[in-house]
């Protein structure tokens, strides 16, 4: 039976591996939600300072499930997995200890024997994965000179802009971003590129980041800068959350002054019930696991053997997928989340 058919309550995962690194002493976990039709689960590896180990495990379980949904939504035969590293609370790791952590994680990835492939995510760097690649070959998204498909942030951003356009098409009957007021929260590798691409398409931008150094990009793009807490309250046509997850709380959604939400952040809804609140407020929300699937499509090319042009074609199809999801939600009077889960389930079943 498909893991998607098992529902969302309880432990629906295939495996949860938790270890304290032998070299580093740092805790990390790998969750495998579903093995996929081809027995290979894909998912990034993030490093975050979690308040408690239970938060790290909850994150791994949630994010690996989202990877299964993401993979099915874009027609990939892979399952979903995720690795989380619990960064110590007592400040940043030294370069030496960081290498130790990545070696520890690499040993576990190697022991999984190719059932889980991983690459860069929030809080980890290409250098981290070059260190990990010394312990295991099951690393994806390395730079091309190291045999990989490169940083997936650009193709992720392309997919997010496609999602913004599709959601504007649903909300306004016109998918053009020219002249649209768009807010972007988080100007990291993906959000910065989303802002650049939206500006190039003629959008008027309002942006924010907790990192003040990102003001330089705002100036370069002629974007207005506001404080992070204020950004979701700005009157705009479309809001693009591109920082970390959980941003769409009930309080934030009550304060939104926009018709569209489409961004890169994983797990944007603080809880699934927020999807209904968005629907009641007449806001078109592009479910994150479809909107940000471009990165997965990019790195999966290393396993499935397609080229960049094909990866871009598949990522452009995110717009078609979302248009179908929005129409289904409108016709059935349901949330875009429910419609997207049904869409992912149907594609997963079709893949076998």
User: Which residues here bind ligand NAD, judged by CB under 6 A?
Assistant: 121-122, 152-153, 156, 185-191, 208-211, 214, 228, 242-245, 264-266, 292, 295
Catalytic positions? 82
The structure tokens listed for 112 are 């999984």
Nearer to ligand NAD, 110 or 228 (CB): 228
How far apart, in Å, do the first and last CA atoms of the chain sit?
9
Write the DSSP assignment of 291-341 as a string of letters. HTTHHHHHHHHHHH---HHHHHHHHHHHHHHHHHHHHHHHHHT--HHHHHH
Q: Would you put residue 210 in left (φ > 0), alpha (ψ -120 to 50) or beta? A: alpha
Half-sphere exposure of 141 (CA within 13 A, CB side): 28
Interaxial angle between packed helices 294-304 and 308-332, expressed in degrees from 0 to 180 and rounded to the nearest 10: 130
Q: Name the 3-class secondary structure at 349.
A: helix
Count of other CB atoms within 10 angstroms of residue 333: 7
Q: How many CA atoms lie within 13 A of 208 on its CB side?
A: 16
Closer to ligand NAD by Cβ: residue 325 or 328: 325
Query: Which CB atom, from 35 or from 186, has the smaller least distance to ligand NAD?
Result: 186
Dist. CA 184–CA 243, nearest whole Å: 9
Query: Based on CB atoms, which residue is closest to ligand NAD, 303 or 334?
Result: 303
Minimum separation from the CB atom of position 226 to ligand NAD (A): 11
Cβ proximity to ligand NAD: between 189 and 249 the closer is: 189
Taking the complex as a whole, how short is the minimal distance between the CB of residue 221 and ligand NAD, in angstroms? 15
Give least dist CB 264 to ligand NAD, A.
4
Q: How far apart are CA 247 and CA 62, in angstroms?
A: 15
CB of 44 to ligand NAD, least distance (A): 7
Task: State which residue, 24 or 266, has the beta carbon closest to ligand NAD.
Answer: 266
Cβ proximity of 296 and 315 under 8 Å = no
CB of 6 to ligand NAD, least distance (A): 24
The candidate with the shortest Cα–Cα distance to 272, out of 327, 341, 337, 332, is 337
Closest approach, Cβ 111 to ligand NAD, in A, equals 25
* Gyration radius of the chain's alpha carbons: 19
Closest chain position to ligand NAD (CB):
188
Sign of CA dihedral 276, 279, 281, 283: positive
Cα–Cα distance for residue pair 263/241, rounded to 1 Å: 5
Complex with ligand NAD: residue 113 or 144, whichever CB lies closer? 144
Rounded CA-CA distance 23/21 in Å is 6
């Amino acid at each position: 039976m498909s893991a998607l058919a098992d529902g969302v309550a309880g432990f629906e995962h295939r495996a949860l591996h938790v270890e304290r690194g032998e070299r580093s002493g740092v805790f990390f976990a790998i969750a495998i939600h579903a093995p996929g039709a081809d027995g290979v689960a894909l998912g990034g590896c993030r490093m975050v300072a979690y308040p408690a180990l239970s938060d790290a495990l909850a994150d791994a379980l949630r994010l690996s499930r989202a990877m299964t949904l993401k993979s099915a939504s874009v027609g990939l035969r892979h399952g979903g997995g995720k690795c989380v590293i619990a960064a110590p609370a007592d400040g940043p790791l030294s370069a030496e200890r960081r290498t130790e952590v990545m070696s520890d994680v690499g040993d576990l990835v190697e022991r999984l024997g190719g059932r889980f492939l991983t690459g860069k995510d929030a809080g980890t760097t290409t250098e981290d994965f070059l260190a990990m690649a010394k312990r295991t070959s099951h690393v994806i998204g390395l730079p091309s000179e190291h045999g990989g498909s490169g940083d997936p942030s650009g193709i992720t951003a392309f997919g997010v802009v496609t999602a913004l356009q599709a959601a504007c098409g649903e909300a306004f009957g016109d998918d053009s971003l020219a002249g649209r007021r768009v807010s972007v929260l988080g100007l990291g590798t993906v959000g910065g590129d989303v802002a650049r691409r939206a500006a190039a398409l003629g959008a008027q931008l309002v942006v924010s980041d907790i990192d003040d150094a990102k003001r330089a990009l705002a100036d370069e793009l002629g974007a207005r800068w506001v404080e992070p807490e204020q950004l979701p309250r700005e009157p705009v046509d479309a809001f693009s959350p591109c920082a970390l997850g959980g941003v769409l709380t009930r309080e934030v959604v009550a304060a939104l002054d926009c018709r569209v939400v489409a961004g890169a952040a994983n797990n944007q809804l603080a809880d699934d019930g927020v999807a209904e609140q968005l629907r009641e407020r007449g806001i078109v929300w592009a479910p994150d696991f479809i909107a940000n699937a471009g990165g997965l499509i990019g790195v999966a090319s290393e396993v499935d053997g397609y080229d960049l042009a094909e990866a871009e074609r598949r990522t452009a199809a995110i717009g078609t997928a979302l248009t179908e999801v929005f129409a289904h939600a409108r016709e059935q009077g349901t949330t875009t989340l429910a419609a997207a889960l049904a869409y992912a389930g149907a594609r997963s079943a079709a893949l076998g």
